[in-house]
Amino acid sequence: MKVQYKDKIIERDQPTKISDLLKEEIKNSEHTVLAATLDNEYRNLDYYVKHDAKIDLIDTTSNEGMKVYRRTLLYVVGKAFENLFPNNKMEVNYQLSNSMFCDIKDGEVTDEIIEKLNKEVRRIVKENLPIKQVIMDRKEATNFFEKTKTSKGRLQLDLDNNDVIFMYYCEDYYNYCYGTLANRTGVVKIFEIVKYNDGFLVRYPSQKDPERMPKFVKNKKLAWAIDEYDDIHKILNIERVYKINEAIKEDRIKDIILLAEALHEKKIAKIADNIAKNKKIKMVLIAGPSSSGKTTFAQRLGIQLKLNRIKPVTISVDNYFVEREDTPRDENGDYDFECIEAIDLKLFNEHLTKLLNGEEVEIPEFNFYKGTKEYNGKKLKLEKDEVLVIEGIHCLNDKLTEKIPSEQKYKVYISALTVLNLDRFNRISTTDTRLIRRIVRDHQFRGYSAKETIRTWNKVNEGEKKNIFPFQEEANFIFNTSLIYEIGALKPIVMPLLEEITKEDVEYAEAGRLKNVLKYFEEIPKESVPNNSLLKEFLGGGDFKY
C-alpha cells in the first residue's frame, strides 16, 4: 500500500490509521490538525487506509477545519451538559459571531449552570479523551434506539436505504454529527461558554486566527431577526427536518409553503409601510450576501411601495465602476471588483445628490468588455412620489453614499438565515443553504457546473466577510429570505448536479458533505412553489425578471 502526502510517499503492508501514517506531520503542524481528505473524501484521523491513496491534512486555518472544530466542540459541550444535567435537554440553535447560541429545553440558564459547564468542558478537553465512531447495521441500530429511547442520530434510521448507522462515542456518551468529528476531545482547547439572553453562547476561534478567541460582536438586530423566525416556526411545530418530511408524506406541505410565503409578504409589506411613514426617506439601500434573493426581494418591495403610492426607481451600482486601469488589485495581483474602491464614489454621490435635489442626470452604462463607462443618452430625474432603490454589496456601508444625509436613507440587510435544524444538536448552516441556492442558480441561468460553483465559493465568502457582514447591524431592517421548505424544493435539481462531481475532483469532499445533509429531505416538486416566491429566482419560472 502506497500513500501520497504532498511530495512524500509512505508504504505500509497493512491497513493503518491516518493518524499513524502522518504522526510526525500532525505533531509538527503549525496549526491543529483535526481531520483529513483521503482521495477527496473527508475522513476522521482514526480512519484506516487500506489501499493506495492520496491524503491531505485539514487544520484550523481551513474552512472545513473550523467546521470540524465547531462540531467537535459542540459534541464535547453536549457530553459535559449530559454529565452534569442528565434530566435536561440542551439544544443547539444558530450561529452568531463566532459562537453557537444554545439553550435548555423547558429550563432556565443560570450563572451556576454556566460555571459548572465551563469547568466540566475544560476537564473533558484536558483529559484528551478519544472520540470513536461506532457502526451499526439497521437491526442493531433499531435495537439501540428502542433501548436508549434517544432521538440523537435517529434521523439516520428514517432513510429506508440507510443500511449503515453511525454514532460517535466518548466514554459512555453517544451522539451523532452530520459531518466529520475530530478523534480526540483535546483539540478544542480554545472556547468560552457565556450566558446570553435566555440561553448561552458556545464561543470558538476564527479560521483567520485559530489560536485565540476573537472579540465578540453582539449583532443584536441579526439575533432578533433569527429569534423571531425561530419562534414562529416553533409555534407552527416545523423546526425540525422530520416535521417537514411528515408534512410532505401526509400531503400537508402546501399549507406550510403558503404560511412561509405569507410570512415573507407580511415582512416586505412592513418594510414598505416603514418607508412610507417617513417622508424624508428618498433612498432604499439593499445589501446581502450571495444567493440571498436580492433581485426578487427588490421587485416585491417595489410592488408594496406602489401600494403606498411610492414609485421605485432603480439604479445599478455596477454601472459606476471606476475605469479598468484604476481598479484596485488584490494580494494576488488580480482585479478586486468587490472592494468599495472599485466604485467611482465621487461620481456616484454626485449623481445621487443631483437626483435628490430634483435635477436630471445622465446615467452611465458600464461596458465590462471594454472596462469603461459609456454614456448612451439614458437620463433620469426623480419625481416627488419616487424613491431610489439601490441594490449592491456595499449598500450598508455609508462610504458608498457618504454625501447623502442619513435621514434620507433606509437600509435593508437580507440573508437566508436558516432556522431549520436536522435535530436538536445539528443545525443546517445558513452558508450551506446559500451555497445550495447558488449551485442551482448557476446551473439554471449561468451554465456553471456544481464543481465550478463549489470551487469559487470560499472566495465569495471571503468577500462577504470583508464587505457585507461587518455592516449588517447598520441596517434599519433585517429581512430573512429563508423559506422553511426550500431545501426540499431545491433537492431534485441540486442532487443530480452534485452527483456529477467525481472522486477525482477536489470538490468531491464538499459535494459529499452537502449530499449527506440533502439525503434526509423529502423532495418537493418545484411546481408547488408559488410564482412570486423568492425561491423562483433560483428555480426559474417565476413572475419576475432576473
**Dihedral sign, CA of 256, 260, 261, 265?**
positive
* Per-residue pLDDT at 181 exceeds 90: yes
Residue 246 is placed in which grid cell?
411528515
Label residue 19 by pLDDT band (50, 70, 90): very high
Per-residue pLDDT at 331 = 84
* Per-residue pLDDT at 244 exceeds 90: yes
Per-residue pLDDT at 459 = 87
Q: Out of 3.40.630.10, 3.30.70.20, 3.30.980.10, 3.40.50.150, which CATH number does the structure's domain 65-217 have?
A: 3.30.980.10
Average pLDDT over residues 192-198: 93
Question: Residue 56 in contact with residue 25, Cβ under 8 Å?
Answer: no
* Per-residue pLDDT at 254 exceeds 60: yes
Mean residue pLDDT of the chain comes to 93
**What's the full length of the chain, in residues?**
546
End-to-end CA distance of the chain: 53
For residue 62, count other CB atoms closer than 10 A to its CB.
18
Residue 173, φ and ψ in degrees, nearest 5: -90, 135
User: Crossing angle for the helix pair 508-518 and 450-467, nearest 10 degrees?
Assistant: 90
The verdict on pTM exceeding 0.85 is yes
The DSSP letter of residue 427 is B
Average pLDDT over residues 25-37: 95
Label residue 214 by pLDDT band (50, 70, 90): confident
* Per-residue pLDDT at 449 exceeds 90: yes
Per-residue pLDDT at 220 = 83
* Per-residue pLDDT at 159 exceeds 90: no
Residue corresponding to grid cell 416603514: 274
Give the whole-angstrom CA distance, residue 193 versus residue 48: 34
Domain 2-59 top-level CATH class: alpha beta
* Per-residue pLDDT at 545 exceeds 80: no
Residue 124 is placed in which grid cell?
473533558
Residues of the chain with CATH 3.40.50.300: 223-538
Per-residue pLDDT at 479 = 95
Residue 459 is placed in which grid cell?
472566495
CA 500 to chain centre: 23
Q: Where are the alpha helices (DSSP H) in 170-252?
A: 220-235, 241-249
Amino acid sitting at position 460: V
* Per-residue pLDDT at 356 exceeds 60: yes
Give the whole-angstrom CA distance, residue 3 versus residue 18: 10
Label residue 235 by pLDDT band (50, 70, 90): confident
The CATH fold assigned to 223-538 is: Rossmann fold (3.40.50)
Label residue 330 by pLDDT band (50, 70, 90): confident
Amino acid sitting at position 10: I
pLDDT above 70: percentage of residues in the chain: 100
Torsion of CA 136, 141, 145, 146, to 10 degrees: -140
Amino acid sitting at position 88: N
**Nearest CA to 77 among 17, 141, 30, 122?**
122
Residue 293, φ and ψ in degrees, nearest 5: 95, 30
Pairing, β 386-391 against β 283-287? parallel
Cβ neighbours of residue 338 closer than 8 Å, sequence gap 6 or more? 393, 463, 466, 467
Give the whole-angstrom CA distance, residue 535 versus residue 213: 37
Label residue 546 by pLDDT band (50, 70, 90): low
* Per-residue pLDDT at 294 exceeds 60: yes
Per-residue pLDDT at 510 = 96
Instruction: Give 123-135 pLDDT, tens digit per residue.
Output: 999 999 999 999 9
Local structure of 195: helix, strand or coil:
strand
User: Crossing angle for the helix pair 508-518 and 486-499, nearest 10 degrees?
Assistant: 140
SS3 content of the chain, % helix, strand, coil (to 5): 40, 20, 35
Average pLDDT over residues 5-14: 91
Side-chain half-sphere of 121: how many Cα atoms within 13 Å? 24
Residue corresponding to grid cell 445599478: 316
* Per-residue pLDDT at 518 exceeds 60: yes
Residues of the chain with CATH 3.30.980.10: 65-217
